[in-house]
Every structure is written in C-alpha cells, then in structure tokens.
Amino acid sequence: MKSAFVFPGQGSQSVGMLAELAAEYTIVNDTFQQASDALGYDLWQLVVEGPDEQLNQTDRTQPAMLTAGIAVWRVWQSVSDIKPDYFAGHSLGEYSALVAAGAMDFTDAVRLVEKRGRFMQQAVPAGEGAMAAILGLDDNVVRDICTEAAAVGVVEAVNFNSPGQVVIAGAAGAVKDAIQIASDKGAKRALLLPVSVPSHCALMKPAAEQLTAVLSDISIQTPQIPVIHNVSVTTADDAAQIKQLLAEQLYKPVRWVETVQWFASQGVTSVVECGPGKVLTGLNKRIDKALNAMPLFDLASLQKTQQALGEGQ
C-alpha cells in the first residue's frame, strides 16, 4: 500500500491551530521554539493569540505554516514507523515537503520562507494585485478568459486545484475584468480571494530573482523520499535543479490536479494532508474519488491516519 504525505500552503492558517496536538505532544512546542529562535520573535505566541491580521501577513504566514506542517510531521514520526512513498506540498507547502524529506534544514527553510513572503509583498504593492477563484469552468476556458482580460494588465491561471476549480492572479483591474467575463460565460462562482499578493503569476518575477539570490546560500541535499514539485510534476535530485524549481514556482502555476493524478498513477492509495486544515483533502477527493484522502492535524485525525495506514502493512 503506497502513501503520499502532502503539506498545505497559505490560506490554511488560523489562530489557535494545532492547540490540541501541542497539549499532547511537546515536539509541537519544541518545533515552534526552534522556528522562533531562527526568526527572532515568538511564532507560537502569534499562532496561539493572533491577531488574525498579523498571522495573515505573508511574511508571517509562511514561516507559521511551514513550522506547523513540520510539527505535525514530527508528531507522526514520534508515533509511527510508517514513512510515505512520496511528498508534495501546495505552493509554500513544497518547502515543508523538502524539509520532511531531509533535503533542506528546518531553520534554513524557516528563514528562507520569511524572506520569500517579504519578497512577494514587495514585488506588488498592496492593492495593485489580486487573486480570484473561478468555479465550474473548464481549465482551457479559464485560460481563454485570462487572455481576453489581459488587455488591461497581467492575469493568468495559476492554481489548478481540482477539476472545475482554478485560481487566477494578476493586476487587480485585469482580475476584476476576468471575474466579470467568467460570470458571463457561466461560471458557478467567480470571487476575489482575501489575499494581497498575486502569487504564481508573472508579476512575481522580481521576487523570484531575489529568492534565487538567497537560495544560492542555502544547502540542499538529495531528498531521502521523493518530492513532487508544483512546477514540473516530477521529482528532482540535484540541488541546482531544486533551487531552480523553487524560484520558478513563484511565477508559474501550481499543477495540483496533475500532482494528485501522478500519485494515483504510481499506485498511491492514501494521501495524507499533514498540517492545519482540510483544504487539500477536499481537493484530493475531488481529483480522484478512489484515493483515501485524509487530514492530519489533531488527535482524532492522528488516530484515524494510523489506522488507515496501518492496514495492509
């Protein structure tokens, strides 16, 4: 029985996340302490107390979500000898996957994603960029809509999350036009997302250049467990190749549908979302109903995951 562990990205954070696991497993607090030491501020206090506005700042969200994913992964390692056959992460979650796979040092990754968040915020001033979810249209129709709306500025299809759910990103005016065109073409829903940074589109190229410079100082090893990358939907063993994929990920689409389909093609039957929330679990179920998709973020889900993966071992 093959399994994959996947890590969520921005949008799954919430004040109070992982409180139940932290009360039972000291490794959660220890992991957040390690991150706090690297960052120079109390990350766990921010997660426990908020406020939301601060936790939702891109340069705070990214280290918080990375640390939360690794904390859950370390809890799993403390209770189970079962290792997944593959890792992946949605956008930011790819960094958690690389840390879990032994390709990147945790404290290096924490500092790196804080900078990544800052570079992303600096690339497009607040209010000038936007993202929107388009539901109920074919992928190619959404691409055509973006081409039509690009007359007023950059707008691209950037997250292929599940069949009929595509996220677009770009200049605020172009995204607004794309929402109107999508509604006219019969989208079930076309709505702005509460984010200030238009991730994964061409407007992030300046951030990718800055990230490339910082990545040059980061040590990356060959992953001990294969990591499937968002940009290529393939594994990478070479440090230079992994760094290139991480930089490209800032301005290229997240190919999540293809990632989950790739898992299924390799014989994966269980996909565990390792970290706060259930966003990826919902997507994974819609992508392939035959997969046993489950979240892992509290005591009940930890027990369910142990039972599910313990069978057939």
Q: How far is CA 237 from CA 107, 197, 217, 290, in A?
A: 21, 30, 18, 30
How far apart (Å, rounded) are the C-alpha atoms in residues 254 and 8? Answer: 12
The crossing angle, in degrees rounded to 10, of helices 205-215 and 106-123 is: 150
The contacts of residue 98 (CB under 8 Å, 6+ apart) are 87, 89, 104, 109, 220, 223, 227, 242
DSSP secondary structure string, 278-297?
SHHHHHHHHH-TTSEEEEES
Residue 90, φ and ψ in degrees, nearest 5: -85, 110
Residue 220, φ and ψ in degrees, nearest 5: -125, 130
| Cis? peptide before 125, omega within 30° of 0 | no
Q: Catalytic: which of 36, 91, 199, 301?
A: 91
Catalytic residue check, 90: no
- For 162-176, letters b (16+ CB in 10 Å) and e give beebbbbbbbbebbb
Other beta carbons less than 10 A from residue 194's beta carbon: 8
Catalytic residue check, 91: yes
Among 92, 116, 113, smallest CA distance to 209 is for 116
Q: Would you call 192 helix, strand, or coil by DSSP? A: strand
Q: Catalytic: which of 90, 96, 199, 200?
A: 200
How far apart (Å, rounded) are the C-alpha atoms in residues 178 and 193? Answer: 13
> What residues are annotated to the active site?
91, 200
